[in-house]
């Protein structure tokens, strides 16, 4: 038989198996009374709109990308255990989606196996308790909605999470989650005090019943490797009634590369109330260096601090804007303010739909020693290439609270010793995918260029900036622990082996998996897993 015929036969058999798995899955679920309200299959008129609504990377919105056999949009956590059990029995993978911002589309695409999407968009309830400074947040809620609900209750409470309001908390928290409050309070994951997760047996577990090992793993280790996280309980943090923001933009002709070099020495050592990052972007042929800041206090306290620590930046009172913390969230989101302040907050923070959706490819690094000015000059040259027109490179300062938390406190290990994180993201508008290769090649050139200036052994990467260029074979699937450790050490450093041990105990057959999920050991760990009070088997 010719090789082409063999390939055709394999394709036919795999499609038949996928169709059978989908039918078996639906038959298994058919006994549930709620199925008709929350289950979507390709023939359903709403299937495409449900699938596309939370896709945030157009690279994964084309006819060539594998589609789910079924999409489930549960309205209550009690509807999820049967989905897990039926998927296991039918041979379908589960992809769990909360906001869809994952850079490699892993919450709504599987490159190898037939799969079902468990879309948690309806599990978005947020309950804020001001007296206890805590909140329960559904995994399908967005970062923006959490900010808004906190501000509804108190002007002096906040939460350390991301700049983009449409990011879903399910993935954001489980991968770490950073933002402008990180130097003061650390990551989102550092403020998680409880969670609810559904495991391979359909058990609904809270912190007490899941045990401290699993609770440790899901706060920075990526929740999709261990189960379906349906809710988080988080500790809220104090913010002043007045904060100050500024954005100072410099060009190369205005000594921007020299200022960026100086920024490396200054930003990580500033008072933890002060965050100054740098965003590089191109306008026509000009590359701009945007120094953006959040200060937890008023301008009268900020200006003397900047004059002493970073006078070269030349910040003056006219550059600064005093506002509430929740207004600063909207300011840095890049969203329009609306016809009134209150309407602006509603439209900017509660609207789940991004103003623009792009094709994109992300690369991230950590810098431990100040780089020469020539590094920034090289980035400028890359941004001036044709593929750099819409691309961005930005830096996030460390120090403060980030330098005080131990590497092993959570799976997120990028703590003391880092001056800043630097990330480059290629954006492009092509809808048909014809230009994707050249932009992805640009992203890889950027990554290669950064090699001398960033962390080594391992070269560290942020989990929430997934990169399937690292340690994934041509079939999109890790094949061994050794191969998984290639990316595992970059994301988690020495915490990787502990994550593997937790995985081995709670999911030894590797049901919850994706192209870069935590693998189980072949030899079962001796770790003990506590009994639970819920069971569906």
Are 515 and 190 in contact, with CB atoms under 8 Å apart? no
As beta bridge partners, residue 231 has 138, 196
Count CA atoms within 13 Å of residue 448 on its CB side: 8
Distance CA 338, CA 266 (A): 36
DSSP 76-137: SGGGHHHHHHHHHHHT-EEEEESS---TT-TTT--SSS-EEEEE-TT---EEEETTTTEEEE
Q: Is 465 a catalytic residue?
A: yes
Residues 199 and 173: beta-carbon distance below 8 Å: no
Chain mean position to CA 427: 17
Distance in angstroms (rounded) separating the CA atoms of residues 267 and 294: 12
- Looking at the DSSP assignment, which residues form a beta bridge with residue 129? 134
CA of residue 224 relative to chain centroid, distance: 12
Catalytic residue among 178, 332, 447, 465: 465
Sheet containing 320-323: order of strands = 320-323, 243-251, 286-295, 274-283, 392-397, 420-428, 359-367
- Cα dist from 310 to 269, 276, 292, whole Å: 11, 11, 13
d(CA 473, CA 487): 12
- The DSSP output letter for 61 is -
Pair 470, 487: CB distance under 8 Å: yes
Q: Helices marked H in 245-365 — which ranges?
A: 256-266, 299-309, 325-333, 341-350
Residues classed as catalytic: 465
């Amino acid at each position: 038989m010719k090789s082409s015929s063999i390939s055709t036969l394999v394709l036919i058999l795999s499609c038949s198996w996928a169709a059978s798995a989908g039918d078996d899955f639906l038959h298994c679920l058919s006994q549930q009374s709620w199925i008709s309200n929350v289950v979507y299959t390709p023939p359903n008129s709403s299937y495409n709109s449900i699938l596309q609504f939370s896709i945030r990377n157009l690279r994964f919105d084309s006819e060539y990308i594998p589609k789910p056999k079924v999409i489930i949009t549960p309205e209550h956590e009690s509807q999820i255990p049967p989905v897990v059990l039926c998927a296991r029995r039918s041979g379908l993978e589960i992809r769990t989606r909360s906001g869809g911002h994952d850079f490699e589309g892993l919450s709504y695409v599987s490159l190898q196996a037939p799969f079902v999407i468990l879309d948690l968009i309806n599990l978005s309830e947020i309950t804020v308790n001001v007296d206890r400074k805590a909140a329960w947040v559904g995994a399908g809620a967005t970062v923006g909605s959490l900010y808004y609900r906190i501000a509804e209750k108190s002007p002096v409470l906040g939460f350390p999470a991301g700049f983009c309001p449409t990011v879903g908390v399910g993935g954001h928290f489980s991968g770490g989650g950073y933002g402008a409050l990180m130097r003061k309070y650390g990551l989102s994951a550092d403020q998680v005090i409880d969670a609810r997760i559904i495991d391979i047996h359909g058990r609904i577990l809270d912190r007490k019943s899941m045990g401290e090992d699993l609770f440790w793993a899901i706060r920075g280790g990526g929740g999709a490797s261990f189960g379906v996280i349906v809710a988080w309980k988080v500790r809220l943090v104090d913010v002043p009634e007045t904060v100050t923001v500024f954005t100072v933009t410099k060009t190369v002709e205005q000594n921007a590369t020299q200022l960026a070099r100086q920024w490396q020495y200054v930003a990580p050592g500033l008072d933890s109330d002060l965050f100054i990052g740098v965003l590089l972007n191109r306008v026509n042929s000009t590359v701009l260096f945007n120094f953006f800041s959040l200060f937890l206090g008023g301008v009268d306290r900020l200006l003397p601090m900047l004059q002493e620590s970073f006078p070269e930046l030349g910040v003056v009172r006219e550059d600064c804007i005093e506002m509430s913390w929740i207004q600063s969230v909207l300011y840095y989101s890049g969203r329009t303010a609306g016809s009134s302040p209150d309407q602006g907050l509603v439209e900017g923070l509660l609207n789940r739909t991004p103003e623009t959706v792009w094709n994109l490819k992300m690369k991230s690094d950590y810098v431990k020693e100040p780089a020469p000015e020539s590094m920034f000059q090289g980035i400028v040259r890359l941004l001036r290439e044709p593929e750099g027109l819409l691309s961005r490179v930005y830096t996030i300062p460390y120090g403060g609270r980030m330098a005080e938390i131990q590497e092993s406190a959570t799976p997120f290990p990028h703590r003391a010793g880092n001056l800043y994180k630097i990330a480059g993201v290629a954006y492009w508008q092509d809808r048909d995918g014809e230009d994707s290769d050249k932009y992805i090649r640009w992203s890889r050139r950027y990554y290669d260029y950064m090699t001398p200036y960033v962390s080594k052994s391992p070269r560290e990467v942020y989990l929430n900036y997934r990169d399937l260029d690292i340690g994934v074979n041509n079939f999109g699937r890790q094949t061994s622990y050794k191969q998984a450790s290639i990316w595992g050490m970059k994301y988690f450093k020495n915490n990787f082996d502990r994550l593997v041990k937790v995985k081995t105990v709670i999911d030894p057959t590797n049901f919850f998996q994706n192209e870069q999920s935590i693998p189980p050991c072949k030899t079962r760990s001796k770790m003990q897993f506590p009994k639970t009070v819920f069971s569906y088997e």
